[in-house]
A and B are shown apart, each in its own frame.
Chain A
Amino acid sequence: GESVGLHLPTLSVQEGDNSIINCAYSNSASDYFIWYKQESGKGPQFIIDIRSNMDKRQGQRVTVLLNKTVKHLSLQIAATQPGDSAVYFCAEAYSGTYKYIFGTGTRLKVLA
């Protein structure tokens, strides 16, 4: 079984509803942000990214919103499906560094 994420905050959503996963980032100088999805027993997978000169970016069924004023990032998933069940991580980075800083993650559970 999966030991990662035993104590993560959990969001439970009914199948077909929209999900909103939030992330507070730490560095006001960060200018690049990414959302990753991690399914049980697998490595993180890229979902969507956004640069600091944007407030919103849309992908397939996903939207990322960036509020630099309060250092907040959110991931919206439309029409949530059972396959969306996973742990979601945000990551931040800023020019001049090679490293990403990852958040602790949120577990999304989709209820049938």
Chain B
Amino acid sequence: NAGVTQTPKFRVLKTGQSMTLLCAQDMNHEYMYWYRQDPGMGLRLIHYSVGEGTTAKGEVPDGYNVSRLKKQNFLLGLESAAPSQTSVYFCASRYRGINTEAFFGQGTRLTVV
């Protein structure tokens, strides 16, 4: 059971380049999330999805887009990367309902130069 898998683990982008981060979960979870984590700060929610074909904005959605075409996958896209998007990105998933814990992936360390 792999849990939550993020691809890639590391990436360096030049300003203005685009890329897609992939999150895959094999636990049949309904809810999926993308967070970013910066030094000295907690996890900030970028976008989330409560089911296949649905997405919603979190606290810091600007500069990112997401898609959930399949229940097990949640993609995070950066159309035109900026240095301010240098961060560690985490994907998480959980079952439907409020009292369920979220499971996290190992993270993607992204540097934009």
Binding site for B on A (CB under 8 A): 3-8, 31-32, 34, 36, 41-46, 49, 51, 89, 93-100, 102-105
**Which 6 residue pairs of A and B lie closest in terms of their CB atoms, listed nearest first?**
A7-B40, A43-B104, A102-B42, A102-B43, A6-B39, A46-B101
Name the contact of A44 in the complex, choosing from B50, B98, B104 (C-beta under 8 A): B104
Shortest beta-carbon distance, B94 to chain A, in Å?
9
Cβ A42 vs Cβ B99 within 8 A: no
Shortest beta-carbon distance, B7 to chain A, in Å?
14
Cβ B39 vs Cβ A100 within 8 A: no
A4-B39, A46-B101 are known contacts; what are 19 more A-B pairs with Cβ within 8 Å? A3-B88, A6-B39, A6-B40, A36-B104, A41-B107, A42-B107, A43-B105, A45-B104, A46-B103, A95-B98, A97-B98, A99-B33, A99-B48, A99-B58, A100-B102, A102-B42, A102-B43, A104-B42, A105-B42
Cβ B104 vs Cβ A98 within 8 A: no
Q: Which of B88, B99, B107 has the most CB of A within 10 A?
A: B99
Contacting residues, chain A, for B43 (C-beta < 8 A) = 44, 89, 102
A7–B56 Cα gap in the complex (Å)? 30
Main secondary structure of the interface of A (DSSP, over half): loop
Cβ A4 vs Cβ B88 within 8 A: yes
Closest to A36 in B: B104
Name the contact of B45 in the complex, choosing from A41, A46, A95, A99 (C-beta under 8 A): A99
Name the contact of A103 in the complex, choosing from B42, B50, B99, B102 (C-beta under 8 A): B42
Contacting residues, chain B, for A89 (C-beta < 8 A) = 42-43
Could you give 23 example pairs across A and B, Cβ below 8 Å?
A5-B39, A6-B40, A7-B39, A7-B40, A8-B40, A32-B98, A41-B107, A43-B90, A43-B92, A43-B105, A44-B43, A44-B104, A46-B101, A49-B99, A49-B101, A89-B42, A93-B98, A94-B98, A98-B50, A99-B58, A102-B42, A104-B40, A104-B42
Contacting residues, chain B, for A99 (C-beta < 8 A) = 33, 45, 48, 58
